[in-house]
Amino acid sequence: MRKELSAPLLAGAAAILAVLIAPAAANASEIGAGSGHAYGSANNACFDTTWGWVENTSCSTTNWQMSLPVTTTGAFNPTISFYDSGTTTFLTCGTYAVDKTGQTISWTGMITRSGFFGVSRNGAFQPGAETVPAGGYLGVSCNMPEYTYVYSVTW
């Protein structure tokens, strides 16, 4: 009887071990956009971060900043997950790289997500890749129209 039970137990243990030591998919990192901050403290009242994402609840287009920690140097192309009301202006975002002294060393500029005015949509887009030097970090800046959400950023 012992031999009959040992084979299934060993197979189950091997399956669990394989899952535990499997590498993460593409070593991606993700943060909820609510971990960022308004550009300028006067704009704090424009945003709601209650659920981990960020929503511009009450202001015309206002800027939201997010710092993305990186553990290695190299090129990163963040993906921004969003809901855009699409009323009169669209969500625009840009990525930037900062060196270890705190100086911005490169910037993609603001890239507008594609779509049609008057059509709201959930989606994701990549505003552009940046190369982060040793000791630096990656950042994302989004101009968010009223009633626009940024859910998360993956890089």
What rounded mean pLDDT belongs to the chain? 83
pLDDT at 89: 78
- Is residue 1 one of the residues assigned to a domain? no
Are residues 125 and 80 in contact, defined by beta-carbon separation less than 8 angstroms? yes
- Is residue 8 one of the residues assigned to a domain? no
CA 52, 71, 37, 95 dihedral sign is negative
Measured distance CA(155)–CA(153) in Å, rounded: 7
CATH number at residue 70: 2.60.120.260
pLDDT at 118: 66
Confidence label for 90 from pLDDT (cuts 50, 70 and 90): confident
Domain count, the chain: 1
- Pairing type for strands 92-98 and 104-107 reads antiparallel
- Is residue 126 one of the residues assigned to a domain? yes
CA nearest neighbour of 108 among 67, 83, 138, 87:
138
- Is residue 64 one of the residues assigned to a domain? yes
Whole-structure pTM value:
0.78
